[in-house]
A = this chain, B = another copy of it.
Amino acid sequence: MKLYDLELSGNCYKVRLFAALIGIKLELVPVDIPGGAHKRTPVIELNPLGQLPVLVDDDVVLRDSQAILVYLARRYGGNQWWPDGAAQQAEVMQWLSTAANEVQHGPNTARLIDKFGIPLNKEQALAVSALLLSLLEQHLNQHQWLALGRPTIAECAVFPYVALAWEGGVTLDPYPAVRAWMGRIKALPGYVGMSGIA
């Protein structure tokens, strides 16, 4: 199973983290993003958005980190990570949308600006980050995990860019419950980090 990958991408790390947690092996195919390889063959045919990660598992080709998490969990990970029931799936799904929306446009965008010099709106990224972190803090004050009372793919979707927030100038100091939750994730069997996340 191939993962078209960029080591510094939190979206790619979501997949590497989950694969490590469930003990499956990925063949990493590094993509030279600074050199524009994501806009050329073969990546652009696999994902017309020209974004990473892309997963190829036999005849299954998937763009979008959240979709890849759903696929890996459903096929290889078991119900504890992505459940079967309607209310349970929807409870996890709320956080997958939060990952695609607020996480992407909050801490991820702040980091793109500060770390990679991409000209996006910093003020707006900080406002979205504050909204997201307040939501997480409020939730994690009352719950150990994002959904279902146990680790799920919601953790793999939300954790990476929260843990990388400091690279975008977003401090987690005011959010003790978020920091405690990050500690619980780092203690999971099989956990791996990335550059910027110990």
Which A residues have a C-beta under 8 Å from some C-beta of B? Answer: 48-49, 60, 62-68, 70-72, 74-75, 85-87, 89-91, 93-94, 96-98, 100-101, 104-105, 120-121, 124, 131, 134-135, 138-139
Contacts and interface: CB of A to CB of B under 8 A. Distances in A.
Contact of A48 (B75, B86, B135): B135
A56 to B, nearest CB: 12
Contact of A71 (B71, B72, B90, B138): B90
Given A62-B94, A68-B90, A121-B121, 6 more contacts: A48-B135, A66-B93, A67-B93, A67-B96, A67-B97, A97-B100
A113 to B, nearest CB: 13
6 contacts: A48-B138, A48-B139, A67-B97, A71-B87, A75-B86, A97-B97
B97 A96 contact: yes
A71 B100 contact: no
Contacts of A89: 70-71, 74
Contact of A121 (B67, B100, B124): B124
B94 A64 contact: yes
A48 B104 CA distance: 19
A60 B74 CA distance: 23
Contacts of A67: 90-91, 93-94, 96-97
Nearest to A66: B97
Contacts of A63: 94
